[in-house]
Amino acid sequence: MNGDLAAALAARIVDPVLAVVFPAPCPHCGSLVEHPLRGPLCEACWGALPRHRGALCSCGLPLPGAEATATCGRCRRQLSPFGAGFSLGPYEGGLKAVIHELKFRGRRRVAERLAERIAASPGCARVLTSEAVLVPVPLHPRRRRERGFNQSELLAKALARRHHLAVAPDAVVRRKETAPQTGLSAAARRSNVAGAFAVRQRSRVAGRVVVLVDDVVTTGATARACARVLRDAGAVEVRLLTAARVN
């Protein structure tokens, strides 16, 4: 019996026991979680994760009410560093709840389930093409020690396994500890991350299509700062893939 089959069989046996002995509420709707090993959301909330409404620019930016062929202002002015982009949905509802469970409660299995949902989305295929190498947005070493993991790295590795792609978790490093981006204006976010990133493994990205992976993108200042150093290191194209995006 191979490892995957054994794990699936164990889950079928253990999951119902856990659901009865240690009942856990869904962090989004409060209903009991039917499959704790595939949690933390209940199956109804997993099935109803919010998706972007309306058209998307090729860089992945939502364009509410726009025609399907529309592009964002940054791409029209050729200012976007991203050749393509994709996110599962807006940072709200069940998607926001499950990302919080991953980042702040250490529910690492969430990365696998999010990767499963992303991989099943049609728009993902044009970003995760066979020649791509996945690079997670890094945390500062101190913050990583405090958290114990980098959620973007967990997501990148889960996606790489599903799509049989290379992943370079240490290609980009955060060399400056920055203030949290939450609550900052767009201009303050750009200033906050200026000079914060560097490429440490140039050979992993030079001449390659790089997919930058993050859990959430808001104004995109952090992602663009990473994209700039990747392009400077010789990446032929940088794409952006995130679990969620703030509309």
Question: What 3 state SS string does 118-149 have?
Answer: HHCCHHHCCCCCCCEEEEECCCCHHHHHHHCC
Binned at pLDDT 50, 70 and 90, residue 1 comes out as very low
What does the pLDDT average to over 71-97? 93
For 54-245, CATH gives: 3.40.50
- Scanning the chain, the segments in alpha helix (DSSP H) are 3-21, 43-47, 73-76, 93-105, 109-119, 141-147, 151-163, 186-193, 202-205, 221-232
- pTM listed for this prediction: 0.86
Domain ranges, ordered by start, for the chain: 1-48, 54-245
Counting every residue written for the chain, the total comes to 247
Dig out the tokens for 178 from the structure. 């920055």
Which range, of 21-35, 42-56, 111-125, 231-245, averages the lowest pLDDT? 21-35
Could you give the count of Cα atoms lying within 13 Å of 69 in the half-sphere of its Cβ? 0
Dig out the tokens for 41 from the structure. 């959301």
Q: Are strands 62-63 and 55-56 parallel, antiparallel or unpaired?
A: antiparallel
Q: What pLDDT does 118 receive?
A: 93
DSSP 3-state of 101: helix
Range among 65-79, 117-131, 181-195 with highest mean pLDDT value: 117-131
Dig out the tokens for 176 from the structure. 């400056």
Task: Identify residue 145 by its one-letter amino acid code.
Answer: R
Quick count: other Cβ atoms within 10 Å of Cβ 81?
21
Q: How far apart are CA 214 and CA 211, in angstroms?
A: 10
Q: Which residue has the higher pLDDT, 221 or 187?
A: 221
**Average per-residue pLDDT for the chain:** 87
Rg (CA), the chain: 18
What does the pLDDT average to over 164-172? 96
Burial grade of 238 (CB within 10 A; 0-12, 13-18, 19 or more): buried
What does the pLDDT average to over 90-109? 94
Place of tokens 């009942």: 23
Contact predicate 185/214, CB 8 Å: no
